[in-house]
Amino acid sequence: MKKPLKITLIVIGSLILLYFVTLLVAPKIARSYIEEHSKEMIGRSITIKDISLNPFTYVLDVDTLAVMESDDKTPFVAFEKFSVNINPMQLFTRTLDISDIYMKALYVRVKQHGERFNFSSILEHLATKDSLYYAEHPDEKKVQDSTSKSAAEIAAGLPVKLSLRNIVFEKGNIIYQDTKVGSKFHLKDFSINIPAIYLEDNATGVDVSFKFADGGDLNVKVDANMATYDFNIYLNLNRFALACIKPYLNDYISYKDFSGFLSANIAISGNLNSILSSNVKGQVQLDKVDLTEKSGSKLGAENVTVGIGKANLTDNEFLIDSVIVDGAFAHIDLYKDGKTNFDVLLAPMNKGQASTTDSAAIDSTQAEPAAETAETAKQESADTAKATADTVSAAATAEKPAAAKKLKAKINKLLVKNTVVTATDHTIIRPFNYKVSAITVSGQNINYDTPCNVTVTAAFPEGGSLSLKYHGALSNLKTMDIYISIKNLALKHFSNYSLHYTAYPLKAGTLAFASENKIVDRNLDSKNTIDIYNITVGDKVDDIDPEYTVPMKIGLYILKDKDDKIQFDVPVKGNLDDPEFSYGKIIWKTIVNLLVKVAISPFRLVGNLAMAGANALGFDLGKNDEVIIDANTETFTSEQYAKAIKMTEMIKKDPNLILTFTQYYNPRKTAREYKIKQLKIDFYKQKNNKTELNELDHRAIDEMDESDKDFKAYVKEHSAEIDKNYMMKVLPKMAAQRNADLLKVLRAQPGITKKNLKVITAPRDGLRGYKGKPMYKVTVDVQ
């Protein structure tokens, strides 16, 4: 072999040997260098099991790499295997071909506490190194390019064409913890599949999928053009466990527990330069949503499905194909302080707690303050000032933003079904609880600007029903028409309200209610018809102090017609913004006033509503429902007897009625009159030399003139002889005698028994404040 050829072969062999040795040894050296200088480079320790480069396939393999936390024990970022294929032969065609990028078991743990993260110390370390470098090299300046370039422009500026193909990440785990809030999200089986990345005008496809450790999985497919920034995102979320967001709810509500599942199938298309102009469509679904309040009561729904036809924030356009709510359940609690359970629910659990970002509490987020030189601070200050000046200049020359576009909103189909709402009113003496079931809400083509129709139906206990029809535009909720119809409402369930307001419990009865309401600019004009059948109340509860003093039994008795029905109209007008306005109170007060008006004048039976009752009873006692008496005598006149007897005739018509004759007089005034009368009697006896008096004598005494000179002299001489205490004892005895006399006469009438007739004297407190004429007031009640 010739010597030159031999030398050539030796050189080539040596180069080849050197090539293989270099490719085999260099990765080992790189591994040692990275491990030894990792803290110097990033402030954290890095461990690598092995790095190798195949000299034949040009595949770089990294086996088991881990970046540690500040404690040098806990992994921050790690993976089991990483490999990449770099084809150097393609460099001859001016192409950097990188393919088969593969990573297995990527592990990332991000911890946040306030504004600090567990990687904040790495950023600070790098910033410190950067600041120190430029402080030591003041002649060098940071290159700050404020202009953004597209991927295509960047690719055009590269010396070679970049080709990235077949990128696969699999079996990854990503953990995010917010230690201040107390939340944790664990993404399992994290995988990425990218067939190719194009920096030119071609779509790059990316598939991402992972599972949530607490339940659910997500698949995302992205098609993005890096030259034009156009993108399409297809998102498929399946049964994400909503319990994961519980720690974040503490800032907004006060609750006991929360659960449910979220699913979504969404398509988003747009451009990265105008994210808000993106078009969104698809479907969002909530299942088994259950919010447990502190009280243990629950709010939620079996299923909520929203079909989105189009949503675009820039165009202010929201077209909803359908909103379907199935199996919703809720409750309303009213409390005496004027609040509801929603006021309690919406009080954040974290309200009033001190906000802190103290990172010392979390070991993984600890970091020493970065050492900044005066020159660094000065340079950054100058950079900030320049950036601010540029911003102000740009803002001064920029055009005013365009006015927001008119809202376009439409729901093609609205359906709420199988909904249950319970209400509990704690504001009354005995709490009221009521359940409304089978609530259904339906509507079609519900537009924001155009008036539309929505209907509501519901079921009440024992066969009652509700029907509501709404007509109006969502853009003007101050103007609308609402028609409400309630049928077969069992009144006994509302007994606690009757007890609170009147002290009478409701035992039976049904109600029908129809209401036509026209609202224009919050001014209500309402026509209401109330129809009540067979209403029955129990005996008055003595230990309840009612809000209204209403003789319910007799009032209802008189209002009923011959068919046991009560029907009347209640017009309601007012401004809904008036704090004194209350729709329910107006209707209730109207009913109460009607009952009082009728019951306090049972013999006049005033009003059109009571005419049927008057005809049924068939009596007419004139204008007075009282019997005027003389409190200074124990006897009655024939007229007084006759009127009292006439009043008892109504019992003949209905033995269930109860008549009560209550005697009233003012003791002090009566005592003064009694004293004068006694002086008249004594004067008359002395003047006429009589010891016993007859009726004619009493008539003469009644006609005696008090201004008579002889009588005035007699009074002056003998007035002190009549003891005041004696008179105060005599008056009750006389009243009792009158009661006994009247009771005896009235009980002699046909149909009168001990149960349906009472003759009593008003209580002492009632007599003291009485200012009218002495009389028997007659009231009617029902057994």
The predicted-structure confidence for 146-203, as pLDDT tens digits, reads as follows: 566 666 666 666 777 778 889 999 999 999 999 888 889 999 999 999 998 877 767 7
The three-class DSSP label of residue 142 is coil
Q: Is residue 213 a contact partner of residue 240, using CB atoms and an 8 Å limit?
A: no
Of the candidates 79, 109, 261, the one whose C-alpha atom is nearest the C-alpha of residue 187 is 109
Is residue 565 in some structural domain? Answer: yes
| CA distances from residue 303 to 17, 241, 256, 287 in whole angstroms, order as listed | 70, 14, 21, 5
Are 464 and 594 members of one domain? yes
Number of domains in the chain: 3
Note the pLDDT of residue 90. Answer: 76
Whole-structure pTM value: 0.69
Is residue 240 in some structural domain? Answer: no
Are 592 and 451 members of one domain? yes
Are 452 and 561 members of one domain? yes
Note the pLDDT of residue 148. Answer: 62
Note the pLDDT of residue 298. Answer: 93
Are 633 and 716 members of one domain? yes
Are 561 and 648 members of one domain? no
Is residue 271 in some structural domain? Answer: no
Task: Give me 602's structure tokens.
Answer: 């049972």
Note the pLDDT of residue 149. Answer: 65
Is residue 50 in some structural domain? Answer: yes
Q: Which of 572, 589, 614 is the last residue of a domain?
A: 614
Are 627 and 605 members of one domain? no
Are 626 and 743 members of one domain? yes
> In whole angstroms, what is the distance from residue 484 CA to residue 27 CA?
82
| CA distances from residue 500 to 40, 245, 246, 777 in whole angstroms, order as listed | 79, 43, 41, 27
- Per DSSP bridges, beta strands 257-271 and 95-104 are unpaired
> In whole angstroms, what is the distance from residue 165 CA to residue 193 CA?
10
Report the sign of the C-alpha dihedral through residues 137, 140, 144, 150, in that order. negative
- Per DSSP bridges, beta strands 274-292 and 298-312 are antiparallel
Note the pLDDT of residue 225. Answer: 87
Is residue 282 in some structural domain? Answer: no
Residue numbers of the chain with a pLDDT score lower than 50: 354-382, 384-389, 391-399, 603-623
- Per DSSP bridges, beta strands 75-87 and 107-113 are antiparallel
Are 634 and 600 members of one domain? no
Are 463 and 610 members of one domain? yes
Q: How would DSSP label each residue in 656-722?
A: TEEEEEEEE--HHHHHHHHHHHHHHHHHHHHHHT-SS--HHHHHHHHT--TT-HHHHHHHHHHGGGS
Note the pLDDT of residue 79. Answer: 94
Is residue 136 in some structural domain? Answer: no
Of the candidates 568, 463, 547, the one whose C-alpha atom is nearest the C-alpha of residue 498 is 547
Are 601 and 452 members of one domain? yes
Residue ranges making up the domain that contains 86: 1-105
Q: Which of 580, 614, 648 is the last residue of a domain?
A: 614
Task: Give me 754's structure tokens.
Answer: 């001990």
Q: Which of 105, 133, 152 is the last residue of a domain?
A: 105
> In whole angstroms, what is the distance from residue 25 CA to residue 19 CA?
10
Note the pLDDT of residue 241. Answer: 94
Q: Is 43 left (phi over 0), alpha (psi -120 to 50) or beta?
A: left
The three-class DSSP label of residue 612 is helix
Are 609 and 745 members of one domain? no
Is residue 625 in some structural domain? Answer: yes
CATH number of the domain to which 734 belongs: 3.30.1330
Is residue 137 in some structural domain? Answer: no
Are 606 and 649 members of one domain? no
